Amino acid sequence: MPEYKTEHEEAYLCTSVLLPDDPLKLIGVEPLSKQEVVHHMLLFGCAKPASSEKVWDCHTHSVCAEAGSHVLYGWAKNADAMHLPPGVGFRVGQGTGTRHLVLQVHYTHTRPPGDQSGMRLKLTDAALPFSAGMMMYASYFQIPPQKPSHLVPTKCCYAGFEPAYGFAYRVHTHALGRSVYMDRIEKDGSHSRVCEHSPQLPQGFTPVSNITFLPGQVLEATCDFDSSERTEVTHAGSTHHHEMCNLYMMMWSELPVFMTCSGQGTWSDAASVDPHGPGGLPAAGRLVQEAPQHWGPPPPYMPERPSASHLGQVAGVAKGPAGSVWVLHRGGRVWDATSFEGPALERITYKEPIGENVVIQLDQDTGEVLAQFGAGEFYMPHMTTVDNSGNVWTTDVGTHVATKWSPAGKKLLELGTPLEPGSDRTHFCKPTQVAVALDGTLYVGDGYCNSRVVEFSAEGEWRGEFVLPGEALRNPHSVVLQECSRALYVAEREASRVHRFSLDTRQLEGTWDLAEYGPVYALAAGPYGAVLALSWNRDKEGQPTHVVLLNDNQVGKITGAWSVPDVQAPHDMAVIAAPMRLAGKERPVALLIGETRPSGSRLQKYILLPEGEALPVEAGESQQVSARQQWREVLGAAVGESTTTTRVTLLGEVRRLGAGNGAGIGNAFSQVLLVGLPLTVLVGVAALALWSLSGPPLPQADLKLVSKAHMSPQQRFA
């Protein structure tokens, strides 16, 4: 912290540094202070700091000037240094939402002369495969006096679209805190403990082993306070006379997730997340097709050159676990005007099942085939879904069944009666897609010749139906869940509409009319509670295709739409992370879109780039990087296995820049010495220090106690 005289106790001081024009990853933090001097320190990532001064009072003022600030690290009570897991880092610097780092220091008393409190940071310019993020809990509360135990719970729902893995957590209270813990809350109301720590111990980040957080899980942080010695009510506040209730969970995932929970119940609220921030969808952007040298799934099936290893009509695509995707295709079979007969075209005309393996697992970055099954099982495959246990769900409009498969291809459950269309509790008529809830509850779109979505228990027992009031659903073609908002989304293809139903009452809550974009073929969940719709206007000249972002906060409103280039007869899509080679900056979102053309159907990959950005121009063909291998290395390192050949040796350390040295962080970055070892991959690592700068003391505003009425969200954390 640069020189700045404090005249009052409980001073909150902030200073900022501008990061170099390079994409960097923060991989470690070493605190440089003592408990006797500093109550706590926080490191924020900001697009722009709240002040251009070297030091400013951030007790009653903001830390960052714009929305989207993120806590990257916190320290108190002489906690130790922290190192992120191999392959994981906070993305900062050029091309990310974090261009500045802001250090906040809360001094318990007046700042002593010669104080040099700060943090030493380790950064790398290597392209790490996974991004670090943070769940942050804080709340307003008051504690009655003379209570040996007073609980302050703060509950929210994890609205990410992919699992996240907790690797370290930190708790914080003031003097009254006895314990801080996190629980998962199950659907039946039961609690299971995730982590627990005493806030009176050193308040750094405690390592944990890859705690898995799944989309839709309700997570509750609770602080237990002992006010036995207090004679008055204790309020939440920013001084040590007040109390705080904080829990931070660091986690890694392919795309970063930053969420703030203050007890409103969902992290999809606009006040709790930045939907266009790290890991989110860009406010403005475009879809760019991935180059063929980087994306190589099996080639399209061509009737004139039939091959069992080629992709037929790509009817379904779904994100799978650990860097994989699952694809459902039709082999050499084509759905055309002769495929079905009967009054409702409900009976398939083919007498034998498809002979090829039509369920295929691919590496999501390269397109390499990892596994396949399904030969002799399907008549007309339609769509696929992967549940949170990694099981694969498929629908077959030829046999009128929905089926659950193990990843190895073992049939685990079948809904419907094979080859018998119907509309009762044991029959479907050309079912379209399955959505699977956290507790295993099943929702089946039914279908081309029925007008409903059917709900089943995890064991396959019929529970009820979702229908439109007063009219029939014209082909409920795709279904997707958002469990944090307790909603089921249904794509009514032939009416070009999307409907939202309550999971609790099965009642219609609202409708989006997408007639401007055409029939809605597929739905997919995206970052921070987003719902995306794939629309193909097959009757319009040029047959344009769009991916439409629905506004979940205003039913019926559309947040944005992106045109999809070079696609024909799109049928399904999946949201994934962009490939590893694009992970140097903020890793973008990517889409996989499957075609069902009569011949030459493709599985296309598109990168959703923010406005003004382009894919990197690479000299020659770069080597493809396997997403599957990246997952093996990080998960292997977490359990102590040596699976990676990447090693870093840091020979030099950036010295603390003294008074009068205005060289800046760019020069500090360049002072790091690196060496490559045999059979190693050299990556650049920099150890950076928040340094002291000279200059006359700035005027110190009178500090005052901060009440609930004018505490900023950033002042609820410590």
**Would the annotation count 333 as a binding residue?**
no
**Would the annotation count 382 as a binding residue?**
yes
Do the domain assignments include residue 4? Answer: no
**What CATH number did the domain enclosing 231 receive?**
2.60.120.230
Preceding omega of 447 cis (within 30 degrees of 0): yes
Q: What is the mean pLDDT of each run of 10 residues along the chain (718 residues)?
A: 85 91 90 90 90 87 76 88 91 86 91 90 88 90 95 90 93 94 89 93 86 92 96 87 91 91 52 72 89 90 80 96 95 95 95 96 94 97 96 98 97 97 97 97 96 97 96 96 94 97 96 96 94 94 92 88 95 94 81 94 93 68 69 64 26 26 31 23 32 29 28 48
The residue segments making up the domain with residue 84 are 12-283+647-716
If asked whether residues 626 and 699 sit together in one domain, one would say: no
If asked whether residues 134 and 202 sit together in one domain, one would say: yes
**Would the annotation count 493 as a binding residue?**
yes
If asked whether residues 168 and 201 sit together in one domain, one would say: yes
Model pLDDT, residue 643:
28
If asked whether residues 410 and 489 sit together in one domain, one would say: yes
Beta bridge partners of 315: none
If asked whether residues 242 and 321 sit together in one domain, one would say: no
The H-or-E segment that residue 401 falls in is strand 401-405
Do the domain assignments include residue 131? Answer: yes
Do the domain assignments include residue 639? Answer: no
Instruction: Please spell the DSSP secondary structure of 430-452, one letter per residue.
Output: SEEEEEE-TT--EEEEE-SS--E
**Would the annotation count 150 as a binding residue?**
no
What are the tens digits of pLDDT across the range 174-233?
Answer: 999 999 999 999 878 899 999 999 999 888 889 888 799 999 999 999 999 999 999 999
Model pLDDT, residue 703:
25
Tokens describing residue 290: 């991935």
pTM value?
0.86
Q: Considering 632, 663, 692, which residue would you say is the last residue of a domain?
A: 632
Do the domain assignments include residue 693? Answer: yes
Model pLDDT, residue 16:
92
If asked whether residues 228 and 294 sit together in one domain, one would say: no
Model pLDDT, residue 636:
65
| 229, burial (CB in 10 Å: exposed 0-12, middle 13-18, buried 19+) | exposed
**Would the annotation count 158 as a binding residue?**
no
The H-or-E segment that residue 387 falls in is none
Do the domain assignments include residue 638? Answer: no
The H-or-E segment that residue 669 falls in is helix 664-670
**Would the annotation count 564 as a binding residue?**
no
Considering its fold, how many domains does the chain have in total? 2
**Would the annotation count 106 as a binding residue?**
yes
Beta bridge partners of 405: 392, 411
If asked whether residues 327 and 197 sit together in one domain, one would say: no
If asked whether residues 256 and 210 sit together in one domain, one would say: yes
Q: Which residue is associated with the tokens 């047959």?
A: 543
**What CATH number did the domain enclosing 466 receive?**
2.120.10.30
Backbone torsion region of residue 670, taken as left when φ is above 0, otherwise alpha when ψ lies between -120 and 50, otherwise beta = alpha
| CA–CA dist 417, 421 (Å, integer) | 7
Q: Which residue is associated with the tokens 């049928």?
A: 571
Do the domain assignments include residue 1? Answer: no
Do the domain assignments include residue 637? Answer: no
If asked whether residues 233 and 355 sit together in one domain, one would say: no
The tally of CA atoms less than 13 A away on the side-chain side of residue 608 is 28
Do the domain assignments include residue 436? Answer: yes
**Would the annotation count 109 as a binding residue?**
no
If asked whether residues 272 and 327 sit together in one domain, one would say: no
Q: Which residue is associated with the tokens 């009176």?
A: 200
| CA–CA dist 237, 140 (Å, integer) | 8
If asked whether residues 205 and 98 sit together in one domain, one would say: yes
**Would the annotation count 100 as a binding residue?**
no
What is the C-alpha end-to-end distance of the chain, expressed in Å? Answer: 17
**Would the annotation count 39 as a binding residue?**
yes
**Would the annotation count 710 as a binding residue?**
no
If asked whether residues 297 and 278 sit together in one domain, one would say: no
The residue among 162, 199, 260 whose CA lies nearest residue 577 is 162
**Would the annotation count 233 as a binding residue?**
no
